[in-house]
Amino acid sequence: MRFGKKGLVAGVAAIALSLSLAACGGGSGDNNDQGSSDQSSAAQGSTKLLADYNPQPRDNIKDGGTVTMPIVEVSAQQNTFQADGSAYTNQIWTWYNPQMMFFSPEGKWSANPDYLTDVKDEQKDGNTVITYTINPKAKWNDGSPMTWETFKTTWQDNSGKNSKFIASSTDGYSQIKSVTKGTDDRQAVVTFDGPWAWWQGLFNTVLNPHVNTPDVYNTGYLNKMRPEWGAGPYTIDSADFKTGRVTFKQNPNWWGDKGKLDKVVFQQYEDTASINAFKNGEIDMVSVATKDRLAQVKSMSDITVHRASRLYNGVLELNAGTPILKDPKVRQAIMEGIDRKTVAKIRFNGLDYTEQPPGSFNLLPFQPGYKDAFTEAGYKYDTAAAGKLLDEAGWTKGSDGIREKDGKKLSFELPLTGDDPSIIAQGKAIQSMEKEIGVDMQIKQIASADFSKIFSGGQWDAFMLGFTSSDPFGVAYMCQLYCSTSTSLNKTQTGTPEMDKKIEALWKIADQTKQTEAGMNLEVEVFKQTWGMMPMFNGPTVVATKKGLANLTPEPYSGLDGFGVQPVQNFGWQK
């Protein structure tokens, strides 16, 4: 799995271009082009998968040039498997580490022949067995050959068997019984303990065998890149964590098709700075996710505005580990006091986009098997019902309208990431809604660059952020979302060992369709018991690029090509 099923992105707006490009409907002015997607469909909700990334054959891409892109943060943790990494970690990782597999926009899997000459899927004695045959040319940048031990290291580090490896997710890897040498060092045989329906979601990126101790796994990539442990058409040229700038160059040790670009650059920007940088020609693509940002590029010439489905869930997390939010009735009341449709109207204001509020973190509304588990669990926007829940929990309104209990005010703090007016307006709207039911919600602004540090630290009452999907395999990663032992995404402290067992039992269902149905039913139960995470909205991706930029967003979580993961070497400028 590349970074599990979900990756973290900042804020509910996540305005700066990132792995999950901040998005929601939009248009273009008379002097710029629309992308290739069905623009009318892109405006009418998130029930249809749309891709708009200017796909071009490799022969249509120019040789040479540079592309500069904004990024929300250059995360301190640069091991994409480690729990403190984010989707931004994965974005950097993809450009100088092996892309073992590709996905089409619809989610069809294929092996990358530069690394794998054959992949065989079998069932033996009731176990799923996958045999990976490694390309004899494949090697790491330090000159060592890529062998079966690459698969063994990736499995052992992320299996959960040694808790000192602080993994983002153990989903799938925890179900592997063994990784052994095949016919020679260039073949890995992966045997699961029983059936595993979602094997195509594993080993899509891999770890160098040097990452074989907890210390190296947890700290070896802390505030540093490790190009010697990477492989691929590009490698690190320079990385500055203080200025947030990372530059990639062509890799002289690469055995496959060369990268089309001479250099690829990522630069950290706050929200307002990124749109100004695009207008000034300093970067080549930017999210135009709000009415204001879209208006700023409307009169620009020689740009293209792309729209696509977004593999994204905006989420509000409530931390049950804080005394004020310990009671599930209080958390449910806070959620039932929020009108998600009003928040979405603010989010999509002026962008010709509407959708029904989402009801699942397992699946997106356009995926087969999706249902609104959140509503089925009992959620409804109802201020009277929310007030009744707070009454039952012993919170009564004081003279100022704010509820009190045992001499304490019902007050909590919500950090907001970045400086974009849209996310600030969303926060203020929720603040007003909470006041209506007697809850005092204070807002605190934080810099985009501090997103991972603050969220990972867990020292907050509530947090608005986003989850992005890396592949279409849905309930395969349910533990990453809801298990009590997995806290990289869900920091609400609402998981239980009993629910962990129910989730793990799902994995023994061999049929993908039946497992998905069971997982969606279980998600209803999770929501009903925990009231820790609230789905806010999905929304499409809307991105402005310089005209001619092609094979866009080749990394996982990117957004313009659906579930697509493409060869990074084919990204570049169209002839």
pLDDT of residue 3: 38
Say which residues have a Cβ less than 8 Å from residue 432's Cβ, sequence separation at least 6: none
54: three-class secondary structure by DSSP: coil
Element holding 535 (H helix, E strand): strand 533-535
In tens, the pLDDT along 14-59 reads 333 332 222 222 233 334 666 655 554 444 456 788 899 999 999 9
pLDDT of residue 43: 45
- Is the four-CA dihedral 332, 338, 341, 347 of positive or negative sign? negative
Distance of alpha carbon 202 from the chain centroid: 16
> Which of these CATH numbers, 3.40.50.970, 2.40.50.140, 3.90.1640.30, 3.10.105.10, describes 312-535?
3.10.105.10
Distance of alpha carbon 367 from the chain centroid: 17
- CA 5/CA 557 separation, integer angstroms: 9
Any idea what DSSP says for residue 218?
H
Q: Which residue has the tokens 């160098």?
A: 208
pLDDT of residue 47: 77
pLDDT of residue 28: 33
- The domain ranges of the chain are 312-535
**Phi-psi map region of 64: left, alpha, beta (phi>0 left; psi -120 to 50 alpha):** left
Name the stretches of the chain with pLDDT < 70.
Answer: 1-46, 486-487, 558
pLDDT of residue 54: 97
Q: Read out DSSP for 298-338? A: TT-SSEEEEEE---EEEEEEE-TTSGGG-SHHHHHHHHHT-
pLDDT of residue 112: 98
pTM of the model: 0.84
pLDDT of residue 86: 82
Q: Which residue has the tokens 């153990």?
A: 170
Contact by Cβ (8 Å): 531, 331:
yes
Contact by Cβ (8 Å): 398, 362:
no
Count how many Cα atoms sit within 13 Å of the Cα of residue 462 in the half-sphere of its side chain: 30
- CA 371/CA 475 separation, integer angstroms: 13
Contact by Cβ (8 Å): 375, 359:
yes
- HEC states along 229-267? HCCCCEEEEEEECCCCEEEEEECCCCCCCCCCCCEEEEE
191: three-class secondary structure by DSSP: strand
pLDDT of residue 1: 34
